[in-house]
Amino acid sequence: MADVIIVGAGPAGIFAALELVRQKPGLDIVIIEKGKDIYERSRSANEMLIGWGGAGAYSDGKLTISSEVGGQLAGVISEERLMGLLDTVDGMYREYAAPDQVFSVEGDDAAWISAKARLAGMIYLPTRVRHIGTENCYTVLKNMRDDLDGKITIKCKAEAKAILHDGQRVAGVVLDDGATIDAGYVIVAPGRAGSAWMANEAKRLGLDAWPNPVDLGVRVELPAVIFEKLTTLAYETKFIYYSKTFDDKVRTFCMNPYGEVVQESVDDLLTVNGHSWKNKHTENTNFAILVSANFTQPFDDPIGYGKSVASMANMLGKGVIIQRLGDLLKGRRTTDSRLQRCSTRPTLKTAIPGDLSYCIPYRILTDIVEMLECLDHIAPGVHSDHTLLYGIEVKFYSHRIQLDSELCTQMSGLYVIGDGAGITRGLMQASCSGILAAQSIISQCS
């Protein structure tokens, strides 16, 4: 028996617990996390997305302080409230050892980048970014874990199988070992790794939900000097492009100056991502180019579609595929010998040279190539034969569940937050969603 159950110990779940403990210390709170505790986690591919800290534990720790980036909370609460939550979350990260430095582009610099983007046919989104660094994320998350120790019950390596209810109100959670925990409030924060489970649970519980787009694309790697002017100013520059051929929304995502490309595992699928360290640099910068794939009736399984594309890439490359842009444009696969002649040295050594055109749909590949051409106007050298493309990068989002302004579902006492709710897509807004749900519960327990 508990007062509040939190399913998932990623940023959303952790910040929900922190807010509950700070504002209502007498509550009996249980966190259920199917992965390992922070002290036991490793950087192996099958542990990159689950465990204490969620996918953020081994991210590069970019805290993007913006209502326009990292989620859709701006469509749920007012801009004023969201900005207040962002400032609160930013301050809490600093309490747990996030660095003081913030990258922010203003004045003439912002106007210059924006003008260059418009001339290239793109939209520039100015942001403020606090960079924790991959090696420092562990410290921040460990500090949070230590702070909660003894104040709540933390059950790692325990998986939630089903949400209990009495027809009108949530009643608890069933675990994978058959045990049940009863509770008057349940906050579900399964993250991207739990997106398929959340979609199935929403359907079983009769919650209104609709598919989110799935983001598909590649991880781009090139010499850091090409983006150095932009990354020195902004650390991460975010651009949006609407493709000429298909009018699809294409965007840059997760830019890592002097970083490394890494391999991840999602449900036995090998995908690609990027990290950057605070105190260790490579000679390259990497970032993703993602295309939002929207579907209409009768198709309603974007997660399955994304997994199918990733599975095709894994089948062809026995893992992550790497290809030189020049080879892709010439309609040939990259071979070991061609990769050896490439002036950009890959940071992911396990990637297999191959041909991405065999696994990435023509529409998405066309969108990606168009955006690379546009980026070359802002940072000459992007559209080079020696630019490296890794695939597949795919971002799964849960079905967008019907939520009120406190992130409560149609079932009383049941909250769904973070990326698992299909409403956030980054550390900051995921953390904000945790606080938002916690504040709602606190108001009812007063």
Q: How confident is the model at residue 55 (pLDDT cuts 50, 70, 90)?
A: confident
> What pTM was estimated for this model as a whole?
0.90
- The structure tokens listed for 218 are 């590649």
Going along the chain from its start, the domains and CATH numbers come out as 2-101+130-210+398-445 (3.50.50.60), 214-395 (no CATH)
CA distance linking residue 444 with residue 446, whole number of Å: 6
The answer, yes or no, to whether residue 31 has pLDDT greater than 70, is: yes
Lowest mean pLDDT, pick from 141-145, 295-299, 339-343, 403-407: 295-299
Q: What is the 3-class SS of 127-143, one letter each residue?
A: CEEEECCHHHHHHHHHH
Q: pLDDT: is 105 or 21 the higher one?
A: 21
Q: What is the 3-class SS of 180-209, one letter each residue?
A: EEEEEEEEECCCHHHHHHHHHHHHHHCCCE
Residues β-bridged to residue 219: 288, 390
The answer, yes or no, to whether residue 38 has pLDDT greater than 80, is: yes
What's the whole-number mean pLDDT along residues 186-203? 89
Q: What is the pLDDT of residue 318?
A: 86
Q: For 91-126, write each residue's pLDDT tens digit.
A: 999 999 999 999 988 889 999 999 999 999 999 998
Among candidates 78, 36, 75, which has minimal Cα distance to 57? 36
- Output the CA–CA distances (angstroms, integers) from residue 13 to 108, 185, 427, in the order listed: 39, 13, 11
The answer, yes or no, to whether residue 45 has pLDDT greater than 60, is: no
What's the whole-number mean pLDDT along residues 211-234? 92
